Structures are given as C-alpha cells and as structure tokens.
Structure 1
Amino acid sequence: MNSNKNIFCLFFAFLCTVASVNAQELLTIEDAVKIALDNNFEIKIASNNLQISENNNTIGNAGMLPIAKASVVDNNSIENTSQTRQDGTSIALDNAKNNNLNYGVGLDWTVFDGLRMFARAEQLEELKKLGKNELKRTVLLKIGQVNLNYYDLVQQQQQLTAIDSSISISKERLQLAKNRFSIGKASKLEVLNAQVDLNTDQVALLRQKETYQNTKILLNQILARDANTPFTVVDALKVNAQLKYDELLNLSQKQNPALQAQIINNRIAELQLKQVKGNRYPILTLNSGYNFADSKSSLGFTSQANSKGLNYGFTASMTIFDGFNQNRNEKNAKIEVDNALISLEQQNQFLIAQLAINYQTYLTNIDLISLEANNEAIARQNLDITMDKFKIGTITTLEFRTAQLNHVNAKLRYSNAQFQAKLSEIALKELTGTINF
C-alpha cells in the first residue's frame, strides 16, 4: 500500500514538473519583436501621432478649398414708439412689435494668397513624413531595447549554467573531502574549506537568479504584458561578424532616423520662409451667397417686407505698411533656415563619429570572442587535469579552487564577450536604421 502511494506521489510530482516546463514558453527574438510592435505603449502613441499628421495632410487644411456657411439671424423687439412726419402730423404706439428675420448660405473662396496655400500643402506633406520618421525612430529604439534585454537574458542564462557547473564540481569536491576525512587522509579543515566554497558558489547562483528574474520582468514591461509572464530564451547568442564600415556609413546617410528628421526639418523651415514671403502679395477672395430676408413692423410706412436673391463679388486686399513686421518676420524665418542647416550638419557629424566609435568597439569585441573562447577551452582543460590530480591527492585544495574559479571566470568572460559584441552590433544597426522588425 505504501509502495503504491509512493509511486502515485512520484507520478504527481512528475506531472507538476512537466506542467511547469510547458508553462515556460520559449520566446524567440522574432516573437519578442512582434509582441513589442503589437503592444508597446510608446509605439502605439507614435503610431497615433502619425495618424494625426496624415489626417492633417489635406488640401482643405492647406486653405485651397472654399468655405460655405449657413446663417440665421432673427431679431425681435417690443418698443414704445412715436414718429413725427414731414407734414407735422405725429403718431405714437406703445408696445410696438418689430421682427427682422434673415437667413441664407454664403460661400468664400480664397483663390490667391501669395502662393502660401501651396507652401502650406507641401509643409503638411513634410510633417506627415516627419511623423513616419518619428514612428520609425520609436520602433527602432524599442526594438533595440528588446534585443538588448533579450540577449542580456541569453548571457545571464549562460552564466547560470556556468555557476551550476561550478556548484556540481564543488559538491563533488566536498564529497571527496568527506570521504578522505572519514578514512583519515584529510583534515577537518579541508572539509570546511570545501563547504565554504560550495556555499559561496550557491550564493553567487542565488544572486544571478535574482538578476535573471528582474531582467525578465523588464523585458515583459517593454513588451507591455504581465510582468510575471513566464518564458525562457534561446541558449545561444549569434553575432554577425561580417559588418563593413563603408556599407554601414552609406546606410546611415540614407536611413538614420535622427538624420532624416533633420533633413525634413530643414525642408519645413524653407517652406515656412516661403509662407512668410507670401504675405507681401495681395489676397483675392471670391464670395457669393443666397439670402432671404423678412421684416415686420407695427409702426411706419411699411408694415411687412420680404426679399430673396443671389449676391456675389470679390474682395482684394494688400498690406501696404505693417510697421516693418514683414521684414522682421522674413529675417527670422531665414535665421530658422540657417539653424536647420547647422543642425543638419551637426547631426551628420555626430552620426559619423558615433558610427566610427561603435564600429571600433564592435571590431574589438569580435576579436575578444575568439580570444575568450580559446581561454575558456584552456581553462576547461586545466580544470580537468587539476580534478584528476586532486582526486589522487597530488595538489592542494587551494590549487584546485584556483583552477575551478579560473574556469568559471573564463566561461563568464566568454559569455560576456559575446554579449558585448552583440550590443555593438545592435548599436550599429540602430545608427543605420537596419534592425529587422
């Protein structure tokens, strides 16, 4: 009976373990990017702002279409009125009622305003492009953050594996020390030292697990989903070691969002100057309407009158003198154009410098990957030899611990070298606007 009960408990524990593993979805970088594009709040806001720019980009908003208005005016009065006529007779009436009703539709159409409406239409188009560019910049930034946090998790997962392997070795060492102590070939001090080193490794594992879980929470936050959503990441970190500086520089000149934004802002400043200059020209507006009028009066020669009909005409106006404000506005608009050109040049120089710095860091990190991989292999070989010698008692526990730590540190440095190289790759792709999303 007890045997069956134990089998049932083991089977139940196995099912719980399987359920726990299945609950941990394997989140690939492609899945993470897709979730961020669908959910991230800042991307949604940038997308909505682009929609506003697209809605504003109409010829009506540029002032090219006529404006039609309907109006109704109804005036009523009750007055005590007296009148004296030319022939000397007079008439008076208390509480005399008067009513005037006017209604109709009118049309105003500005057909010429110094070409400002056309400049405004071009400006609205540039603002839409700026909105698209801002959306792209936000997407690149957020996808860069997704990549950074994702590959940080990959690195931390590798570090957890390295520490786990170190704990296994420390446990084996402790067991060997206990066995040797039990047969009188080792002192109690050797056992205590092995126990302390094992405890140290376990503390390091707990700290690393804490960092790992916190980074998972941060990634879930960027993905705009429940912070405690369970998932795992891939266990390998691939770095593109074939990036070329000349190709990156060419791409950055064409696709860098910050540089493209400055180019668009320069064009917007030029169109603003064009609109300001348009104020020097006359404005011609066509107007037309169809109106109805009905009036009633309790006193006077006419007790009731009605009229209806079409009216049309045009209005032309031109500012002759405005206190030299036009000259001032034009000077300021030209300065804004100069500022936009300066900002464009500054952004371009900054981009080239950042690209050069990040590319040099990228090359260094690529070299470090090979070096640290070689160091890790040597440290592994050294640990294997040291382990064999420790088992037969030809080396001290201090020498063994040194070899063990060297191996763990070599694995951590190798993992970190891969991560740093990946960060350099991501930074270069952000600058060139080529992160795949």
Structure 2
Amino acid sequence: MKNFRILYMVAVFFISKLAFAQDILTVDDAIKMAVEKNYDVRIAKNDTKISDIENGVLNSGYLPKVSASGGVNYSDENQNVVFSDGNSAEITGAITESYNASITADYTIFDGLERKFNVKKNEENLNLKRLQERQSIENTIIAIYNAYYNVAYQKQIEEHLKLNIANSEDRLERARKKLKYGQGTKLDELNAQVDLNNDNISYAAANKDYKNAKRNLNLLLGRDISAFFEVDTTVVFLEGLEEDVILESSETENVTSLLNQQNLLLSDLDIEINKAKFLPKINGSVSYNWNQSINPPTNFALENEAYGLNLGLSLSWNIFDGGQSKTRVQTAKITRENREIELYRAKEELKKEVYNAYEDYTNKQFTLEAEQNNVITNTLNFSRTQNQFSLGQVSAVQFREAQINLFNALNNRARAKYDLKIAEINLLQLAGKLID
C-alpha cells in the first residue's frame, strides 16, 4: 500500500508538471499567434490583398469593353395624313412597333503609353503594400517582445518577492522562538512582523502588475484578454552581432529604407503617366446591330429590318488642356525630388539609429555582466549574514539590508537580461533580419 501511494504521488506530480508545461506560451508561439491574429497585421494583409486584386489583368486596361443594349417601342396613334398629290387619309389606331438590339466592343489601341505605366504602377503599389505589411509585422513582433518580456520580468519580481517573504517568515519565526526562550525582545518580533507585512504588500502590488502585463499581451495576440498562460523566463542571446555587418545589411534590407526607395520608384512612374497625356489616343470599336420596325399604312414602308456589322476607328489628341497636364508633370517632378531628399535623409537617420542601437546593445551587455556579478556577491553576502543572524552576530537591520540588497540585485539582473534581448531585437530590425 505504501509503494502504491508513492507511485500515485509521483504520477500526480508528473501529470501536473505536464499540464503546466502545456500552458507555457513561448515567445515564438506568441509571435506566430500575433502574426495570424493581431488586428493591425490582419488589416495590413487585407490591404495587400486589395492591391493584389488591383494589380490583376482585369484592372490593367488591356481588355476590351463589351456592352449590349436592346429596346422596344410601341405607339398607338390617330393620324391625319396629307400626301404630296393632294390626297389625304385618316387612320384611327395607327400602330407602330420598333425593336432594336446591339452588342458593341470598344478597345483602346494606343493611349500614349499611359496604360503601360499604370500597369507598372499597380505592380509597384503591390510591392509597396507587401513592404508595409512586413513593416506592420515587424512592429507587431517588437511589441510582442516588449510585452512578453515585461510579463516575464513581472513574473520574476513575484518569484523574488516570494523568496523575500520566505526569508521574512523565517526571521519572524526565529524572533518568536528567541522571545519565547528569553533570548530576544518584543521589538525584534514586531520589526520582523512589519517587514513581513511590507513584503506581502509588495507581493500584492507585483501580482497586480503581473496580471495587467498578461492582459496587455493577450490583447496584442488578438485573443481573450483573460486567457491563461505562463511565460518562459529564460533568454537565449545571439552571437556575432557586428556593427559594420548590421550597418551594411540595413542599407539594403531595412524595411523603412526599402519603403523610401519604393516611393521614389512610384514617383518616377507618376511622371511617366502624366507625360503620356501629351500623346494622342487611338480607339477602335466593332458592333453588331439589329433593328426592326412595323409601321402603319401611312408609312412608306410597312415593315423594315436592318442588321449587320459596324467597324469604327477614332483618334483623339488633346493638343492643349489649359496647361493641366504640364502642371501635373511639373508637380510630379518636384514630388519626386522631395522623395529623393527624404530617401537621403532616411539613410543618414538609419546610420545614426544603427550606431545608437549598437552602442546601447554593448552597454546593456556590460550591464548584464555587472548585474550577474552583483547577484553572486549579494547572494554570498546574504547567506553569510543569514548565518551570522541566526548566531546573533548581526542585527535585524543588517539582515534586512542584506535581504533587500539581494532582492534588488535579482530584479536588476532580470531587467538587464530582458533589456539586452530587446536591444538585440532592435538591432535585428534595423538590419532587416527580424523576420528571418
């Protein structure tokens, strides 16, 4: 029976651990979920779909326009008719019927190459939307990393406060035992109780911040804000992030830089489209028509039917439109010049951002290393202080100081760890390698 109980407890332990593991949301899982469900990303994807439709052959202008029409007319009239020979006739209920039907196809044979450049512009607009979608995804990924590691940081604060509470409870228990056996004072017990109360208050506040951070992350993931999950507090850092490599990559892969280049290309196409308006346009048409009429006796022909094929060719040339086309070309050229200036400025700003981000990255590497050393030092200091406190060799104030120093060192190391990861992610985004 005893062995059975042991096996049962072991089974329950592993089942509970498995269930807990299934609730863990990794940062990669969060990113995948956000890319699929985040509201901004979904809107950006739909904008790309719209541009893809506009880039299709149905919007190219190269297909003919086909229309069909038909009609029926009926009249019932009383007619008084005087003929050229002087005779006259009066008819009551003179009925006239007419029927017509036609199908027509119109096609633009030449439009000054405007259609060609519009098709090219639609293609580049699609590329622009794809870049904007990528930018939205990258911004969402950055937001997810920040929100995820904020949850992880708040979780670690909770864990550190639990350790604080456990140490404070141990201190209070020691103070009560010493008071019981006449080796301590009531003041020692009261001070220990006050510090334990403060730790519990801090834990309640940290628990509130932890829950709020989890709700913020759920909102970014596009799911129920109350969905339960746990986060992984471990962080894996990349190796070999070199400043010159990141700078070189940013010039060709950074999404903001690519967007500026794409806008410049679209400006070139706008100039060509407006120039095309100076050239003539040639249109062709073909139609098949059918007409039939049934006339009263007063008409020369009692019945008439006509049908056949009609072909047409027309040329139009807007020789002068009041200067509107010239104005559009001039403004398009100035717009292009502005976008060229923006591109140059963006390149310089990107260089500055890479230099600043890399400086921040190296600084945070140093900070994490220093905070790790602080944790080692403060852990050793607290362990020794705890032992000396139990022997009555240090005061409660010294014990509490060592306890708080260790708590702050643990929190600072956690903050430095996540700050370094965010700095690394920012470098990847600047290099255009974040989605990779």
The structural deviation recorded for 1:287 is: 0.9
Q: What are the residue-to-residue correspondences of 1:17-416 with 2, within 5 Å?
A: 18=16, 22=20, 25-240=23-238, 242-298=240-296, 299-416=298-415
Query: SS at 2:59's partner residue?
Result: coil
Per-residue CA deviation, residues 368-409 of structure 1 (Å, 9 max, x unaligned), is: 000110011111111111111111112111111111111110
The structural deviation recorded for 1:219 is: 1.5
TM-score by length of 1: 0.92
| 389 and 322 in structure 1: CA distance in 2 versus 1, 3 angstrom threshold | same
Query: SS at 2:227's partner residue?
Result: coil
AA aligned to 1:354 is E
Per-residue CA deviation, residues 301-338 of structure 1 (Å, 9 max, x unaligned), is: 11211011111120101012211222212112212212
| 1:4 match | none
TM-score by length of 2: 0.92
| 331 and 388 in structure 1: CA distance in 2 versus 1, 3 angstrom threshold | same
- In 2, the alpha carbon distance for the partners of 1:434 and 1:183 equals 66
Identity among equivalent positions (%) equals 29
Per-residue CA deviation, residues 76-120 of structure 1 (Å, 9 max, x unaligned), is: 333444333322333343443323322121111111111111101
Per-residue CA deviation, residues 13-33 of structure 1 (Å, 9 max, x unaligned), is: x79x93995486111122222
The structural deviation recorded for 1:295 is: 1.4
| 433 and 91 in structure 1: CA distance in 2 versus 1, 3 angstrom threshold | farther
- In 2, the alpha carbon distance for the partners of 1:281 and 1:231 equals 65
- In 1, the alpha carbon distance for the partners of 2:339 and 2:58 equals 28
Q: Which moved more, 1:45-54 or 1:23-32?
A: 23-32
Query: SS at 1:240's partner residue?
Result: coil
| 285 and 384 in structure 1: CA distance in 2 versus 1, 3 angstrom threshold | same
Structure 1: segments with no counterpart, 5+ residues: 1-6
Per-residue CA deviation, residues 214-241 of structure 1 (Å, 9 max, x unaligned), is: 1111212222222222111113123335
The structural deviation recorded for 1:362 is: 1.2
| Structure 1 residue ranges (4+ consecutive) displaced by more than 6 angstroms after TM superposition | none
- In 1, the alpha carbon distance for the partners of 2:98 and 2:352 equals 75
Does the 8 Å CA contact 1:23/1:231 hold for their aligned counterparts?
no
Query: SS at 1:106's partner residue?
Result: strand
- In 1, the alpha carbon distance for the partners of 2:129 and 2:209 equals 37
- In 2, the alpha carbon distance for the partners of 1:81 and 1:275 equals 59
Does the 8 Å CA contact 1:47/1:135 hold for their aligned counterparts?
yes
- In 2, the alpha carbon distance for the partners of 1:58 and 1:157 equals 50
Query: SS at 1:102's partner residue?
Result: strand
Does the 8 Å CA contact 1:239/1:418 hold for their aligned counterparts?
no
| 85 and 329 in structure 1: CA distance in 2 versus 1, 3 angstrom threshold | farther
| 109 and 171 in structure 1: CA distance in 2 versus 1, 3 angstrom threshold | same
Structure 2: segments with no counterpart, 5+ residues: none
Q: Which moved more, 1:48-57 or 1:236-245?
A: 236-245
Q: How many residues are aligned here?
A: 426
